[in-house]
Amino acid sequence: MPQWGNQDYKRAVFEQLAQGSGGGGDDDHFQHFENFSAGAPRRDVEAGVGEAFHPERLDSAQIEPQFRAAAEKMHPSERAEIAQDLLGSLHERGLAPTWLQRLLGLKSADPSQATPDDVAKLAEYSRQNHPEVFRRVMADKPFLVRWLDKPLVAGLVGIIAGKLLNRAYDR
């Protein structure tokens, strides 16, 4: 795959996006997200996550099961990292991990013990109630994104690509 930012890479991504969700494998879409999240301006990645996962666009009944299924496929250390970041950021906003454990029905307030269900509940709670936390964590740690349904990841890549394209035309 060509390097991020290279015109051949951008052309290949835009051609694949133009083909819809049928082009490329699941790994291709995640690889594009990983490349975009690593190379695109941070504000574009966080804004893309915010738009792609906005609560008015995706309801809880639709996305929480996807978060759970994705967390089941992650390594336990990846689940622990996401849980740590979510719990830590929510704690900075005055929400104690033990309070969140009771509120959300988490198995443990210890991130190293996070189950797939715990990660899904924390991600969904953050997405709904503290979107700035959700955007930051998903941009920093794309472990969860890797395992989401292909149309969601393709949509996220498309939103970030659109922001980059708009920026290029604004010059």
- Per residue in 74-93, pLDDT tens? 999 999 999 999 999 999 99
Q: What is the pLDDT of residue 22?
A: 44
In a domain, 2, yes or no: no
C-alpha 27/C-alpha 19 separation (Å) is: 16
C-alpha 71/C-alpha 82 separation (Å) is: 10
* pLDDT tens over the chain, length 171 residues: 445 455 565 566 556 555 554 445 555 556 666 766 677 788 888 999 999 999 999 999 999 999 999 999 999 999 999 999 999 999 999 999 999 999 999 999 999 999 999 999 999 999 999 999 999 999 888 888 888 888 888 888 888 878 777 765 555
In a domain, 1, yes or no: no
In a domain, 95, yes or no: yes
In a domain, 50, yes or no: yes
Q: What is the pLDDT of residue 21?
A: 45
In a domain, 107, yes or no: yes
User: Which pair of tokens denotes residue 99?
Assistant: 């309070």
C-alpha 158/C-alpha 70 separation (Å) is: 20
**List of residues 6+ apart from 135 with CB closer than 8 A:** 46, 47, 49, 50
In a domain, 47, yes or no: yes
In a domain, 113, yes or no: yes
Task: Determine the structural domain holding residue 51 and report its residue range.
Answer: 7-170
Q: What is the pLDDT of residue 56?
A: 92
Q: What is the pLDDT of residue 80?
A: 97
In a domain, 92, yes or no: yes
C-alpha 8/C-alpha 11 separation (Å) is: 5
Q: How many domains does the chain have?
A: 1
User: Which pair of tokens denotes residue 171?
Assistant: 């010059």
